[in-house]
Amino acid sequence: MILLSILPITTLLVCLIIIKLPVAKSGGVSLALTLIIAIFAFGMDFFGLSVAVGKALSLALFVSLIVWCALLFYHLADDFKAIDVICKNLVLHIDDHFVDFLMLAWLFSGLLQGIAGFGIPIVIITPILITLGYDKTKSLAAALIGHSWAVTFGSMGAAFYIIQMITGVPHDQLGIPMWVFNTSAHLLTGIGVCWLYSGLKGIKKGIPYVLPVSFAMALTQFLAIYFGLYPLATLLTALTGLIVMFALYKMRATKKENRERHIAELTLFQALGPYTLIFGLSILFQFLPSALRNISISFSFAGSETSLGHIVEVETGYSAIRLFGHPSVILLFAAASSIFIYKSAGIWDMAVFRTSVNKTVKKGIPATITLLALGTMSLIMMDSGMTQALAYGVVDIVGGAYPLVAPFFGVLASFLTGNNTNANVLFGSFQYTIAQRLEVSGAVMSAAQSLSASVGVSIGPTLVLMGALSGKICGQESVVYKKLLPIVLLIALVMGVINFILV
């Protein structure tokens, strides 16, 4: 049963990395295999299957709204040259190709993750890096791993609150272990970005920046957690990192002649306007009255049971799409503001707008199909008991050494579900239960789950697809995976050692 449970995941990896099929086709092949195993080996009936598909549809709706709005926002900024203006002005202030790369992929992406998350950092940072002249697959890989440290406390602390609610561990007990693992993530993801830039040479050049910046970030995050500012624990940390790194660069940089300021029809202030609105709305929505914040569209699903006795609980309020808080709403406001700004600047062109919409539709349809395939595969694995069989089987084999491998389950959960929040839903209570069985700290084990899942988000097929779409490199996902997998697995191993020591 363990071998059957791991077969769909193995198939997906083989299709992506070895056969080099696109994500959509890889997901289709793996989904077909998952269906066969779930029905004939795990006893999943038609009712249970329909519930799992319904959940997958609701999750696909949740994510597709983000994908479509993010694509529209990006194409408007790209087609009206706003991204070009930002990039050229950025070079005026930082005259170092390496520092630009590290700051954007590791810190600015973390800042965006702290605000909204759900793929927005990848959609924004990847095309900026590519426009600046960096290798396309390196740009996507760096944005993916670079932002991953920020995911657990990102999106205003969504994943943190989920793991706390599922396990029942009090905030004050969970926060400090989270900080320990997040501190390692700050450092290791920064080194990972340096490695992607130019291997050992990149690490050697980056250490003088990464070490002091990571220390400053760790201190800021500790203070945020200590004072209970969990929703701002990523945002404040990323801001600190950006300020410290810019200061370090200015201290180390040699003085050069002033360059000519980039002149364009769109000013830097106008180009940054929509991005500033994303920041402002994300903050504003957190402080709206609860009556407004709770306005949402959600779904409820009945429970089910397989013939082998695996019980799926009833789901209420599943995949809630909040009117004031869902990233697609923020992105739509930002897109609308960009239209207003471009008209005010006198560069509005309806033909260009239609081109942006057409590009969005052309990329959005296959993206939604892929999301459906991957999401359905993931939900069938969960509801049929395949995921649980795999997890318990590994625990029986590993025994007391399980804390060493616990972070790999966090990575696996993010790979399957596509985000930290769902990964915590999938394996959060399981990791806590195993901690109780082994008589070790449930708070530490839960923290290891959430932070390893945070890093694991960087290899989620959905997020890789979104980045490939934004960077116009669809079909090269296998190259990105080859760059990312060793880094992600190494970070999971380090977190496993930390977890084993702490528990």
What would the DSSP string read from start to end of 245-280?
A: HHHHHHHHSPP-PPPPPP--SS-HHHHHHHHHHHHH
Q: How far apart are CA 34 and CA 441, in angstroms?
A: 34
pLDDT score recorded for residue 287:
77
pLDDT score recorded for residue 116:
62
Phi and psi at residue 303, in whole multiples of 5°? -80, 170
Of 119, 331, 305, 153, nearest to 225 (Cα)? 153
DSSP secondary structure string for all residues of 344-367: HTT---HHHHHHHHHHHHHHHHHH
pLDDT score recorded for residue 486:
94
- The size of the chain, in residues, is 503
Residue whose pair of structure tokens reads 């002033």 in the numeric block = 258
Is the CB of residue 484 less than 8 Å from the CB of residue 458? yes
Q: Count of CB atoms within 10 A of residue 96's CB?
A: 14
Q: Count of CB atoms within 10 A of residue 349's CB?
A: 12
DSSP code at position 108: I
Phi and psi at residue 322, in whole multiples of 5°? -80, 135
Split into its structural domains, the chain has a count of 1
Identify the three-state secondary structure at position 495: helix
Phi and psi at residue 241, in whole multiples of 5°? -60, -45
Amino acid at 475: G
Is the CB of residue 144 less than 8 Å from the CB of residue 464? yes
Q: Count of CB atoms within 10 A of residue 183's CB?
A: 20
Residue 348 is encoded by which pair of tokens? 């509005």
Stated pTM of the model? 0.71
DSSP code at position 106: I
pLDDT score recorded for residue 187:
96
Q: How far apart are CA 114 and CA 107, in angstroms?
A: 10
Answer positive or negative: Cα dihedral of 213, 218, 224, 227. Answer: negative
pLDDT score recorded for residue 495:
97
pLDDT score recorded for residue 204:
95
Query: What is the Rg, in whole angstroms, of the alpha carbon atoms belonging to the chain?
Result: 22
Is the CB of residue 219 less than 8 Å from the CB of residue 243? no
Q: How far apart are CA 489 and CA 483, in angstroms?
A: 11
Give, for 123, the enclosing helix (H) or strand (E).
helix 120-131
Residue whose pair of structure tokens reads 């789950």 in the numeric block = 449
Q: How far apart are CA 107 and CA 234, in angstroms?
A: 10
Q: How far apart are CA 449 and CA 162, in angstroms?
A: 12
pLDDT score recorded for residue 262:
46
Is the CB of residue 39 less than 8 Å from the CB of residue 50? no
Range of the domain at 149: 2-502
DSSP code at position 328: H
- Any bridge partners for residue 297, and if so which? 321
pLDDT score recorded for residue 232:
77
Mean pLDDT per 10-residue segment, the chain (503 residues): 86 79 80 94 93 87 80 84 76 83 92 74 87 90 94 78 76 90 96 95 95 96 87 86 91 61 69 80 77 83 88 81 79 89 90 91 82 81 83 80 92 79 74 82 92 92 82 83 94 96 91
Q: How far apart are CA 408 and CA 414, in angstroms?
A: 10
DSSP code at position 42: S
Residue whose pair of structure tokens reads 């899942």 in the numeric block = 453
